[in-house]
Amino acid sequence: MQLINGTEIATQVIEECKRDIAALAAAGKVPGLAVVLVGDDPASRAYVRSKDRKCKELGLHSVKLELPATTTQDELLQVVRDLNNDPAIHGILVQSPPPKHIDEAAIVRAIDPAKDVDGFHPINVAKLAIEDSSGFVPCTPLGCQRLLIAAGVETSGANVVVVGRSMIVGKPMAMLLMAKGKGGDATVTVAHSRTKDLAAICQRADIIIAAIGRPEFITAEHVREGAVVIDVGINRVEAPGTEKGYKLVGDVKFDEVAPKCRAITPVPGGVGPMTIAMLMSNTIKACRQASA
């Protein structure tokens, strides 16, 4: 069984980013990323902090805007418009989820598609669907695809089951895997909470992408011998007696599933590190395209 080391592969992506940043610097360009956080959700705050830290480590221009939970829709839209008009900013990310009074879809649509490094704007979703490489792909599915390529997992002709249909992971993941070329050309089934006899469907898969957001939902009964499993989930579950009182687990029951797998990602240390690495990569791409 091969353990797919996301931390190691993310480091390779970051090294590529460093080379790209040096090439842009030689041309007088510095990629800029703005991350906007509304409210004080602890998990969101931790994500924003790690993104800001990685930007600074790479020498990117980083803007971190922390707005109070009382920020109105109009105020947030104005922040987005100001960033759209700032030539030093190439990527804009509004941390999800915002407070309940904010219309997140409207905020996403307000971001300039050329600066939408999260890949959620309808124009970028459409570009992914029509295989237009100038668009931006959401960072987590892009990271999953990179993990498969780096681990030497052949997707061409493979039967893949994506468990989960969110716009953040499931749907873009399916489109990426169906696209022509490296890391694509797969036959994809998208399963979800209403899917009948999920275990039987997953049993036919050469590759399972688990992104359903339920701790340890995928068990040995879902996985055939020799399958590859990419676990996108990151769930905090109680662990009495441990120092923190909780532990992080994926959407896959790792100890039960791993022995059956040809390759599997751990949680933590699998998909997680790839998401920030691909965000850096998308920001560099945005800078390069803005400069073209």
Three-state SS sequence of 123-166:
HHHHHHHCCCCCCCCCHHHHHHHHHHHHCCCCCCCCEEEEECCC
Beta-bridge mates of residue 36? 65, 94
Beta-bridge mates of residue 248? 236
pTM given for the model: 0.96
Q: At what angle do helices 6-26 and 42-58 cross, to 10 degrees?
A: 50
Q: At what angle do helices 271-291 and 42-58 cross, to 10 degrees?
A: 50
Cβ-based neighbour number of residue 273 at 10 Å = 23
Of 218, 203, 200, 211, nearest in space to 177 by CA: 211
Q: 209 phi and psi, to 5 degrees? A: -110, 110
pLDDT at 59: 93
DSSP H or E stretch at residue 121: none
Q: State the Cα–Cα distance between residues 113 and 201, nearest whole angstrom.
A: 36
Region for residue 152 given its phi and psi (left: phi exceeds 0; alpha: psi -120 to 50; beta: otherwise): left
Per-residue pLDDT of the chain (292 residues; tens, 9 = 90+): 999 999 999 999 999 999 999 999 999 999 999 999 999 888 888 888 888 899 999 999 999 999 999 999 999 999 999 999 999 999 999 999 999 999 999 999 999 999 999 999 999 999 999 999 999 999 999 999 999 999 999 999 999 999 999 999 999 999 999 999 999 999 999 999 999 999 999 999 999 999 999 999 999 999 999 999 999 999 989 888 888 888 899 999 999 999 999 999 999 999 999 999 999 999 999 999 998 7
Q: State the Cα–Cα distance between residues 187 and 177, nearest whole angstrom.
A: 8
Per DSSP, the residues of 199-257 read HHHHHT-SEEEE-S--TT-B-GGG--TTEEEEE---EEEE-TTSSSSEEEE-SB-HHHH
pLDDT at 246: 87
Q: State the Cα–Cα distance between residues 67 and 75, nearest whole angstrom.
A: 10
Of 157, 146, 265, nearest in space to 205 by CA: 157
* Amino acid, res. 257: V
Calculate ∠ Cα 62-67-68, nearest 5°: 155
Residues taking part in catalysis: 51, 95, 118
Token pair for 12: 């390779």
pLDDT at 40: 87
Calculate ∠ Cα 186-190-192, nearest 5°: 160
Tell me how far the alpha carbon of residue 160 is from its chain's centroid. Answer: 18
Tell me whether the omega of the peptide bond preceding residue 172 falls within 30 degrees of 0, making it cis.
no
Tens digits of residue pLDDT in 155-212: 999 999 999 999 999 999 999 999 999 999 999 999 999 999 999 999 999 999 999 9
pLDDT at 234: 92
